[in-house]
Every structure is written in C-alpha cells, then in structure tokens.
Structure 1
C-alpha cells in the first residue's frame, strides 16, 4: 500500500519530461516522465531506496534525503512545503477509529480586527476543510446569490461538490474543485481531513473521490465568477496563513482587472456593512 509521500514523489516524477532536465529520451515506456534511476542519481540515493519510498515501505526518510529529493525533482517553494507536510503525516499518522475532535471554528479577535481593517474589500477566514468562518461585507456582496452562504455552517468544499449552482457560477469549476480537494491534504489535521473526506464522498460522488489521491498542487490562477447579476468577476487571491494552532487562512480577493473593480462598485448599492462571523 502506498503512502501520501510515496504517491507524491511518484506523481511528480511521472509529470516531468526527461528533456526538460537535459536527459536523453529513452523511447516509449510504460510510464511517462523520469525513470527512477534518473531521480535516484540526481538525489544521490539508490534506486532501491527510492522504490521503497514510492511504494510506502520507507515512511521516515531523513531531512537530508527529503531535501535531496526536492532538489532532484526541482520542486518549487509550494511543492517543497507540501512535501515536508507529507513526510510529517506519512511518518506520524495513525488510523484510529474514533472520530477526531472537530477543528476549532473560533476566529481570534486579532484576525477579526484584521478583517475589519480590510472593509470594504472582499475577504474571509477559512480553514483547509473549506469552512467559511468569518467574512467582510465586501465578501458577502461578491458571493450574494451564489448559494455559498445559504447553509450553516457555510463550507466552500461542500458547496463546490454538492451544490449545482457552483458549476453555473464558477466557469472554471474543475480548477476550483482541484484546489478544494487538494487543500484537504493540509489539515487542520490528517485525522480530521480523513473524516471529512469520508463524510463528503457519498454525497459528492466521483468528481470528488477521483481527486482525493492527486498529489501535485494545482496551478494558481485567477478565480472567475459569473455573478448572478450578469457581471463576470476575476479575482487574484492573496492568502495569509494564521498561526498553526488555528489551522486557518485569511483570504483576500483582489480584482484582477479594471472590469471587475468597476463591476464591484456597481454591486455596492448599500452602505458599508458589518463584519460577519460564523463561529
């Protein structure tokens, strides 16, 4: 049986074309990408050891080996961070049979104060499960009519995979679905994410389950929303990680073009609202 770490290394290796590393193309192969021997040589480890990692038979590679693998696969900063996280949960995760404690849904006063300073911008606090924990009136204005805030507690992951309106209002639904499914790898804890996946899978169906074992971080692209009012909104997303004990993020939506900024001004037909907290 594989492990999250082994699955990631194998998936990344399969995604790299040999010529991009200046390596010869050995012709048609059963699997795409780099050979194990190519990666092992670049990392300075044996092919047998790399095979054990990929197959889940070695769950605790040393920090030096992890760094060597990251260098050998030319991982970017985001992928290196994900690799370190997978090493942590692969070596320390335990299956357990009891339902874990739910993630903390309370947003710290300082984070709420930061949201207030961001008004009237569109910003919200979330965790990796997709719970929408607090948001500005600007965020409420942007998502009004999409259906995201119709349920309590609001959850972006559940909305994307179970609410048919998500496909209507998110023209790049596949991209958003990839992002939400991938974020489950990142917490709040391995046990909590596993329970969330198990609970959501029966109602979310194959579009969710087929994404669960994808290991490569999806590309970061602007978020597009086809707003119910007829406006097309394009957003850059700036994400600020809150202290690890919270396992939360502060996400700010920034207009990606002048048309979006103008459309938001047209939508802003009511006075500046108050901060909303779902805690």
Structure 2
C-alpha cells in the first residue's frame, strides 16, 4: 500500500523532465519524468531505497534524505513544506484505514465575536476541508446567487467539484480546484480527511481524485470571481490560523480599485455598508 509521502515523491519525479536538470533524454518511455535511477543518484540514495519509499514500504526517511530529495527535485518553498508535512504524517500512519468521521463544525464564541468585529467586511470561518462554519453578512451578500451557501452545511470543496455554477463563478477554476484538493491533506485529522474523501470522491470523480494523487502544491494568488451580477472581482485573502480549533478566519479584501468600487456597489445593494479602509495595501 502506498503512502502520501511516496505518492508525492513519485508525482514530482514524473513531473520533472530530464532536460530541466541537464540530463540526457534516453528515448521513449512508458512514463514521463525522471527515472528512479536518475533521482536516486541526485539524492545520494539507492534505487532500492527510493523504490521502497515510493511504494510505501519505507515510512520514516531521515531529515537528511528528505532534504536531499527536495534538492534533487528542485522543490520550491511550498513544496518543501508539503514534503516535510507528508513525511510527518506518513511516519505516524497506521496501516489500517482510519475510521472516517466528519470534522467538528462548532466555532468558539470568542471566534464568533472576532468575526462580528470584522463587519461589514467580507469574512468567514472555515477549515481545510472546505466547511464554511460561520460568515459575516457581507460574505453572504458576496456569494448570493452562486449557490455556495445553499446547502444546510455549506462546503466550498464540494461546491467547487460538484456544482456546475462553480466553474462560472471561478474563471480560474483549475487553480481553485488545486487549492481545495491540496487543503484536504491539511484537514483537522486523519479521520476527517478519510470522511471527506470518501464522501466527496464518488461525486467529484477524477477531477478530485487525480489532484489528491498528484499532490499539486498551489501557488495562491488573488481570487477571481465572475459574480452573477456582472462584475469580475479580484480579491486577496488574509488568513488567520486558529490552531487550537484547526480552523481559519479568512478575510476577503479588494485587490484593486475597480474591485473595491464594484464590491462596494454590490454590498450597498445588499444593504451592507463596506468600510473603505478595508483594502489591500501592496
């Protein structure tokens, strides 16, 4: 049985072309990317060891090996952080499948009070599984007509992968899908991750399953929204981690002046009065 760590190393090896590392092409191959022997040589490990790691038969590589693999694969900062995270969770993985269980949806009163202080700003409390746990009225106004909050227990990940309206709302749907799939790995617990994937993958299909297997590390930029009312909005996301709750407080700010004007008009029509001081400063 494979492991998240082994899957990630294999996916990154498949994504690197030999020419990028100054290695000669060796004719047609059944699979893309680097050969195991090429990566093993660059990382200073044996092919046998790399095979065991990719196949999940070795679950506890040393920090030196992890760093050597990161260097050999030319991972960027975010990819290195994900490699270290997968190393940590793989070392503690039990061979048996964790008992699936949904993540708690409760939000502490102090967090709700903090959220209220952000009104009339656009903000929500979520977790890495995509559950929308609380939000300001301005967030509801921003997402009105999109279908995101229609469910009794709204979930952004399920919305992105299963609701056709999501592809119209997010012009950069592939980037948003990469983000949501990647964040599942960072969920509150192994049991919550198992519950989310077991309930989501049958509905989302390869669009989600393939991303989970590839471990695409997203490079998060401004969020583009093609709002049903007409304007296209560019929003930055400022995220406050709540580690004791395994939740995040996310504030959405206009990334440019046209978005600031369009957002102000949209919220005004919805009866919200946005404060002009809530804007991104580069």
TM-score (norm 1): 0.86
Alignment of 1:177-188 (within 5 A): 177-188=177-188
Determine the structure 2 residue equivalent to 1:256. Answer: 255
Deviation at 1:113, TM superposition (A): 4.1
Determine the structure 1 residue equivalent to 2:67. Answer: 67
Q: Tell me how large the CA RMSD over aligned residues is.
A: 2.3
Determine the structure 2 residue equivalent to 1:277. Answer: none
Deviation at 1:55, TM superposition (A): 1.6
Alignment of 1:159-178 (within 5 A): 159-178=159-178
Determine the structure 1 residue equivalent to 2:222. Answer: 222
Tell me, what secondary structure is at the counterpart of 1:236? strand
Give me the whole-angstrom Cα distance separating, in 1, the residues matched to 2:98 and 2:34.
38
Give me the whole-angstrom Cα distance separating, in 2, the residues matched to 1:23 and 1:143.
49
Structure 1 gap ranges (5+) = 274-279
Give me the whole-angstrom Cα distance separating, in 1, the residues matched to 2:140 and 2:99.
36
Tell me, what secondary structure is at the counterpart of 2:237? strand
Determine the structure 1 residue equivalent to 2:246. Answer: 247
Determine the structure 1 residue equivalent to 2:21. Answer: 21
Deviations 1:23-81 (A, max 9, x none): 34444433322232332233222222111111211111122222222222222222122
Deviation at 1:117, TM superposition (A): 4.0
Pair 1:254–1:23, CA change in 2 (3 A): farther
Tell me, what secondary structure is at the counterpart of 2:229? coil
Larger RCO (CA under 8 A, 6+ residues apart): 1
Determine the structure 1 residue equivalent to 2:155. Answer: 155
Tell me, what secondary structure is at the counterpart of 2:224? strand
Deviations 1:121-142 (A, max 9, x none): 3221111111011222332221
Pair 1:230–1:12, CA change in 2 (3 A): same
Report if aligned partners of 1:137, 1:272 keep a CA contact under 8 Å in 2: no
Segment drifting more, 126-135 vs 187-196: 187-196
Report if aligned partners of 1:116, 1:136 keep a CA contact under 8 Å in 2: yes
Deviation at 1:110, TM superposition (A): 4.3
Report if aligned partners of 2:232, 2:259 keep a CA contact under 8 Å in 1: yes
Q: How many corresponding residue pairs?
A: 271
Deviation at 1:143, TM superposition (A): 0.9
